[in-house]
């Protein structure tokens, strides 16, 4: 079974609008972590946000927030006030013990 599922291969959003990128995960480990990374066309991996499985509050980092719904095993990324520079691939990832699992990614295009 897939550990991380991202069901949106591509998305468009208008500049200055908010967008939600979906991520569901599968684990039986009670202690795990969830991450979002951004990969621009230049190829580097940029860490955006982290949520621990025991964290009570949703993580936020500037314009990024992680909508963590533990019972539904979802960890959606919300980007507020999209900017042209947000156009990139976005990967959801999960840490289980010392291993990390990545989803197949969502390509976000921000339209002016």
Partner 1 sequence: NAGVTQTPKFRILKIGQSMTLQCAQDMNHNYMYWYRQDPGMGLKLIYYSVGAGITDKGEVPNGYNVSRSTTEDFPLRLELAAPSQTSVYFCASRLQGPPYEQYFGPGTRLTVT
Exposed/middle/buried for residue 62 (C-beta within 10 Å: 0-12, 13-18, 19+): exposed
CB of 105 to partner 1, least distance (A): 5
CB of 112 to partner 1, least distance (A): 25
Q: Which stretch binds partner 1 (CB under 8 A): 13-21, 69-77, 78-86, 90-98?
A: 90-98
CB of 45 to partner 1, least distance (A): 4
Q: Would you count residue 52 as binding partner 1 (CB under 8 A)?
A: yes
The SS3 assignment for 47 reads strand
The SS3 assignment for 26 reads coil
């Amino acid at each position: 079974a897939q550990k991380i599922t991202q069901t949106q291969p591509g998305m468009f959003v208008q500049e200055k609008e908010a967008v939600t990128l979906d991520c569901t995960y599968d684990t039986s480990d009670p202690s795990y972590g969830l991450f979002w990374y951004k990969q621009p066309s230049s190829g580097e991996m940029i860490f955006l946000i982290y949520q621990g499985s025991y964290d009570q509050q949703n993580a936020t980092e500037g314009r990024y927030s992680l909508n963590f719904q533990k019972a539904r095993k979802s960890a959606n990324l919300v980007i507020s006030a999209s900017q042209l520079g947000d156009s990139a691939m976005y990967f959801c990832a999960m840490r289980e013990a010392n291993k990390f699992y990545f989803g197949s990614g969502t390509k976000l295009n921000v339209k002016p």
